[in-house]
Amino acid sequence: MTDLAADGLTLQPVAGSPRLRADSDGRSQVLHPHWLRERSEEPDAIDQGNKQRLFAPADLPPDLHATDVRPAAGATIVVWSDGHTQSVDHAMLARELGWANDPNSPPGRKSWVGQLDPFPHFSLPAADDDDVMRAILEAFWIHGFAILTDTATEAGSLDGIASQFGEIRDTNFGRLFDVFSKPDPIDLAYTPIELKAHTDNPYRAPVPGIQFLHCLVNDSSGGESTLVDGLAAFEEMGELDPEGRDVLACTPVTFRYEFGTERMQARASIFETDAAGGFVGIRNSDRLDFVDPVDPDTLDVFYRARRTLRTLLDQPERRAQFLLEPGHVMMMDNRRLLHGRTAYSLTEGHRHLQGCYIDHDGPDQGWRAIAARSRS
């Protein structure tokens, strides 16, 4: 998709109908008059500063139609039956129809399996350079993670590191949480046992979007970090068991966390999909999930699919496995990737990580700001 879609675009009325038709380079789309009218960018339609609408689309007359349509440079002028005149910018229309890329949008995801080569690690002190920050964010958007290196190893320094990417989201585990073995742990993360591929906090609504894990000390044996791509597992499930994948996307599950007086729960499906059935995210923590009492035939499929998914997620060849060294920070998409770690020894050395969460809007805004600067 290029801006060529805008260059050759035409917009004209559909004879005998209030609708209009956009054409460009062999593509054609009939447009509802309200769909087009509510995208008006005229000064009496939207605030020119904050781009918010100055009218309520629900108040438009139901029989709205164009009374005049004429071409202009890079646009089409549409006069509407309610008296509004709208210059429809062809570049805007091509983007809205999906015929051209938004030049400021982050890159799309690419599924992956196994160790990535080259491995996406970047020296963080250079992140005040737009090119380096862009490379970090590009890896994050495409692969779902990036490893930042050469950071401080003082406890608490993750606050400043993660804040370069977005607002830190506080939880009951704290603004920053420590990951090391402790007695009476409130979560199995705080023990030395192996942690299989999982997503964090599926019992929250919404789940934390992005997790940072900052390695302060890691000189025990074992304790390697693991990542698995939930998008790749979703795609593989579509090949192996499409019916099961649909059931995992449609069947409500309660994810529950209880410790002492704290209780949190959220009801969601294991796979989150969009209206077209595409992958949006995955919640997976098989220590915390309780499926709804739907009919046993559906549960047969659900349990079959969950076994298949677990088998996929546990395949060693599917995971990226690496040792986080002191000063390394893993930044990973908690809605897309699953993370885990191998077991480690409590008798040799010490392992101490700190973590925190941010949401996706931080890296999204960061990417858009860099993209806009690069074109100015």
Chain positions contacting Fe ion, by CB under 5 A: 200
- For the CB of residue 140, give the shortest distance to Fe ion in the complex, in Å: 18
Decide whether 89 or 200 has the Cβ nearer to Fe ion.
Answer: 200
- For the CB of residue 211, give the shortest distance to Fe ion in the complex, in Å: 7
Decide whether 136 or 332 has the Cβ nearer to Fe ion.
Answer: 332
Decide whether 75 or 207 has the Cβ nearer to Fe ion.
Answer: 207
Decide whether 263 or 287 has the Cβ nearer to Fe ion.
Answer: 287
Four-residue CA torsion sign, 97, 102, 106, 108: positive
DSSP 207: P
- For the CB of residue 25, give the shortest distance to Fe ion in the complex, in Å: 47
H helices present in the chain, as ranges: 4-7, 33-37, 90-96, 130-143, 158-163, 230-240, 242-250, 296-314, 361-375
DSSP 324: P
Please name every residue paired with 322 in a beta bridge, in sequence order, or none if there are none.
225
DSSP 338: E
Decide whether 200 or 236 has the Cβ nearer to Fe ion.
Answer: 200
- For the CB of residue 261, give the shortest distance to Fe ion in the complex, in Å: 22
- For the CB of residue 119, give the shortest distance to Fe ion in the complex, in Å: 21
Q: Which stretch of DSSP H or E encloses residue 275?
A: none
Decide whether 200 or 359 has the Cβ nearer to Fe ion.
Answer: 200
Q: From 192, 119, 216, select the one nearest 342 (Cα to Cα).
A: 192
- For the CB of residue 208, give the shortest distance to Fe ion in the complex, in Å: 10
Q: Specify whether the CB–CB gap between 308 and 241 falls below 8 A.
A: yes
Cα separation, 279 vs 250, whole angstroms: 13
Measured at CB, which residue is nearest to Fe ion?
A: 200
Decide whether 230 or 244 has the Cβ nearer to Fe ion.
Answer: 230
- For the CB of residue 5, give the shortest distance to Fe ion in the complex, in Å: 43
- Span between the terminal Cα atoms of the chain, in Å: 22
b/e burial code for range 100-138 (CB count within 10 A of at least 16 → b): beeeeebeebebbbeebeeebbbebeebeeeeebbbbbb
